[in-house]
Chain A
């Protein structure tokens, strides 16, 4: 154990953890939204994220960018960023809707038991991930240098980069927008109504199928944004990129209280920071092991997550 390492590098580890946590949080929203409405763990959500990481690379590729390209100037960078985000959002959103339509809706029509959904979820996840694996010959793909990470703020030994600020700020803004949408709009009201009492909601004229499509779409949009941030931060993607990060994201959703949007944000940031500290304390090999032991401990004392299952508690 390296206590002095953790204490000396407390600032940098925390900032790095927050950036990683912001990506996990955006990713986690998809799990939490779908669970809140359907009581279903959408394991295929990790592949919704995966296709996002490739979508932006492909569109950048169309513009002749690869990992060896020169760094674009500021104006071009903004253009590429916007383009990459739109591509990832569109593709991830479409795949999320497609998974719902193909893997879940037919089962729901036939009133299948919950286990059947779990199996189709895992099936859809593996199918998409393997499809990407075969199509890319299981090679990793490098990300063009759209944004050069450089330090913009220095506090003591903590250097905060423009990329870290972008990731954290974007996650916070998207969380805020989504929160406003769910709590302050007609469609959001419909989502909450279905989450709290699906039968009453239907009898009040809420179209349940549309609400379900909408939550899958929203989860897909957020995963798309997370995917672009992941590409820029990590620099490469691979057909199994969604798997481990997906487990992190699902964990973050449970940690914050699954079904609870603000819980996903808190859980994501907390998990990112815990992993970062664990890496500092025990070495980066222990990152997941240590963070998950802590997670077990937290859930022992707060089994329904830090903020509780807000959409869920409501359902009697």
Chain B
């Protein structure tokens, strides 16, 4: 079952249905936004606000991801990173604002539709299918794009076999890619923590994503494992997949990302290249405490 502290999307939907006492983005905002719209944008987060009851988890956040980049979404704990991420993968529905993937709105789409549309994700806390082998876990992801019907699967028609075989081969390749092919036949709950994280990435890649979202993939890793993970993220980008990386560890993100957005208390406080963001006083304040305290 889901963690007790986390509300289900349906409950959140109900809460979001309450009247909004803040005005929706005005026409002027939208015209302005149209003016700066990036033609290379893969995913656009457009003035997104998300409230849970009285709590504003995201406050008018806008940014966009370009094709082929590694994009960092960072901020101190509780800044709204995961909430933003959940809105982008269809788990939460924004109270207002739009999220567009390849020009099409994804708000209100079902989770499996969003996955089939090309967005894959991993979780902050590993969520595998614990009783399946590593290979089977990846094959579930690979199945997303199979075309065969229930009938042909029941009767095991040749096309079903063909897809099954190609899915299996591709899954093994992905296990090789993330470096755990030798564990293919092992039940996933018996894998080490690091292996489980890699398996989760392989499973997400198996859905053939255009955009891969990684939620704190380095959590609980030692420095050597972190370095290996960064290497893996770069290799994923080199295959043409856009990567969105969520992290609260600034140093980790600096080395690998092309651009970064920084959130604090649900608001965007900075955006730019790692160097720009690092020198931004607002970001330094967010990470080190308010300037008066720091001074």
Contacts and interface: CB of A to CB of B under 8 A. Distances in A.
Nearest to A180: B156
A181 B154 contact: yes
B115 A204 contact: yes
B126 to A, nearest CB: 10
Contacts of B46: none
Interface in A193-217: 193, 196-197, 199-208, 214
B131 A186 contact: no
A196 B203 CA distance: 15
Contact of B89 (A196, A203, A206, A311): A203
Q: Name A's interface SS.
A: helix
Contact of A187 (B10, B112, B121, B153): B153
B136 A200 contact: no
A108 to B, nearest CB: 9
A138 interface: no
B199 to A, nearest CB: 12
A203 B111 contact: yes
A214 B150 CA distance: 9
A310 B207 contact: no
B130 A189 contact: no
Nearest to B200: A200
Given A181-B154, A185-B153, A186-B160, A204 B10 contact: no
A314 interface: yes
B121 A203 contact: yes
A16 B202 CA distance: 51
Given A186-B160, A203-B121, A192 B146 contact: no
A86 to B, nearest CB: 15
B143 A189 contact: yes
A205 B89 contact: no
B110 A205 contact: no
Is the interface on chain A under 10, 10 to 19, 20 to 34, or 35 or more residues? 20 to 34
B127 A199 contact: yes
Interface in A265-281: none
Contact of B112 (A111, A181, A189, A208): A208
Interface in A293-316: 310-311, 313-316
A315 B160 contact: no
Contacts of A199: 2, 91, 111, 127
A21 interface: no
A185 B156 CA distance: 9
Nearest to B89: A203
A315 B143 contact: no
Nearest to B213: A203
B131 A204 contact: no
Is the interface on chain B under 10, 10 to 19, 20 to 34, or 35 or more residues? 35 or more
Nearest to A214: B150
A258 B143 CA distance: 27
Given A199-B2, A202-B110, A202-B112, A189 B139 contact: yes
B190 interface: no
Given A205-B143, A206-B112, A313 B132 contact: no
Contacts of B110: 202
A201 B11 CA distance: 20
B128 interface: yes
Contact of A205 (B2, B112, B127, B132): B112
A199 B123 CA distance: 11
B123 A192 contact: no
Nearest to B123: A200
A231 B128 CA distance: 44
B229 interface: no
A206 B10 CA distance: 19
A204 B207 contact: yes
A314 B189 CA distance: 9
A292 to B, nearest CB: 30
A242 to B, nearest CB: 26
9 contacts: A186-B139, A196-B129, A200-B127, A202-B115, A204-B143, A204-B204, A208-B112, A313-B131, A314-B130
Interface of A: 110-111, 181, 185-187, 189-190, 192-193, 196-197, 199-208, 214, 310-311, 313-316
Given A199-B91, A315-B1, 10 more contacts: A111-B10, A111-B11, A189-B136, A192-B131, A196-B129, A196-B131, A203-B111, A205-B115, A205-B207, A313-B131
Interface of B: 1-2, 8, 10-11, 89, 91, 110-112, 115-116, 120-121, 123, 127-132, 136, 139-141, 143-146, 148, 150, 153-154, 156, 160, 163-164, 167, 203-204, 206-207
Give the 7 A-B CB pairs with smallest separation, nearest first: A205-B144, A111-B10, A202-B111, A205-B115, A314-B131, A196-B129, A200-B127
